[in-house]
């Protein structure tokens, strides 16, 4: 990419980033249309390719940017009241929602990365994603699971939570407009039930 991108007015940068994320998130790499991004961002087609060599370059940039931003917000705003599993999970979701206020499609975009099947895209972006996953993993490493019943296998449990929350997120984004309250409500109800089910009784 062309580093001069960052000399643009912040507002224009963000319009471009949001346009790209939205279209990538909703369509995946291969089906994402540059024309649609152009319309979404209100910027000329030529400009995209002035700053980003090609579609894959843009994709790489946007993935990187999204992850960096989430990491930043985590470092800054992350504050699980405790290191309880559920508090932690909820805190991560709160971070996502806060990111969403600046970059509305980051949560869906990150989630969409799992679905990506285009080999070129995966090649270019695999490492970034691994880093992000590692970050999340490391947070969970420090989580206190002492209240979990002995029959609860950590990996299965985490997988269950991850897949389900991803499902809820996608369903909420599939609605006309994303409703943060509705989303967080469903997440809390879900986590509560998982808490009840997992604890020693």
Residue 199 found at the interface with DNA (CB under 7 A): no
Kindly tell me which residue out of 151, 176, 177, 181 binds its own copies, with binding defined by CB under 8 A: 151
Kindly tell me which residue out of 15, 40, 43, 164 binds DNA, with binding defined by CB under 7 A: 43
The first and second tokens of residue 4, run together, are 């001069």
The first and second tokens of residue 98, run together, are 């806060």
Binding partner of 163, given DNA, its own copies, none, CB within 5-8 angstroms per partner class: its own copies
Residue 53 found at the interface with DNA (CB under 7 A): yes
Residue window 6-35: x/- pattern of binding to its own copies, with contact defined by CB under 8 A: --------------------xxx-xx----
Kindly tell me which residue out of 5, 140, 157, 178 binds its own copies, with binding defined by CB under 8 A: 157
Binding partner of 197, given DNA, its own copies, none, CB within 5-8 angstroms per partner class: its own copies
The first and second tokens of residue 28, run together, are 């995946």
Stretch that binds its own copies, among 3-11, 34-42, 72-80, 167-175 (CB under 8 A): 167-175
The residue written with tokens 């080999």 in the block is 119
Q: How far apart, in Å, are the Cα atoms of 174 and each of 92, 162, 167, 183?
A: 21, 18, 11, 12
Residue 129 found at the interface with DNA (CB under 7 A): no
Strand partners, 144: 84
**Which of positions 99-118 make contact with its own copies (CB under 8 A)?**
114-115, 117
Residue 178 found at the interface with its own copies (CB under 8 A): no
The first and second tokens of residue 93, run together, are 């979701």
Binding partner of 4, given DNA, its own copies, none, CB within 5-8 angstroms per partner class: DNA
Residue 26 found at the interface with DNA (CB under 7 A): no
Sequence-separated (6 or more) residues with CB below 8 Å from residue 35: 45
Cα–Cα distance measured from residue 201 to residue 199, given in angstroms and rounded to the nearest whole number? 6
**CA 119, 158, 166, 199: dihedral to nearest 10 degrees?**
170
The residue written with tokens 């969403």 in the block is 100
> Which residues lie near DNA (CB under 7 A)?
2, 4, 7-8, 12, 32-35, 43-47, 49-50, 53-56
């Amino acid at each position: 990419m062309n580093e001069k991108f960052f000399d643009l007015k912040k507002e224009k940068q963000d319009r471009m980033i949001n346009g790209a994320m939205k279209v990538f998130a909703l369509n995946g790499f291969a089906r994402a249309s540059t024309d649609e991004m152009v319309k979404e961002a209100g910027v000329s087609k030529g400009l995209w390719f002035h700053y980003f060599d090609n579609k894959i370059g843009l994709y790489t940039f946007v993935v990187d940017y999204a992850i960096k931003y989430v990491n930043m917000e985590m470092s800054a705003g992350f504050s699980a009241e405790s290191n309880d599993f559920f508090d932690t999970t909820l805190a991560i979701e709160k971070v996502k929602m806060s990111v969403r206020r600046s970059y509305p499609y980051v949560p869906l975009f990150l989630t969409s990365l799992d679905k990506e099947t285009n080999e070129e895209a995966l090649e270019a972006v695999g490492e970034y994603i691994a880093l992000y996953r590692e970050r999340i993993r490391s947070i969970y490493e420090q989580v206190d699971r002492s209240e979990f019943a002995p029959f609860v296998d950590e990996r299965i449990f985490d997988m269950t939570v991850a897949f389900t929350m991803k499902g809820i997120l996608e369903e909420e984004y599939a609605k006309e407009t994303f409703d943060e309250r509705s989303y967080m409500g469903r997440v809390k109800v879900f986590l509560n039930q998982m808490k009840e089910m997992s604890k020693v009784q």
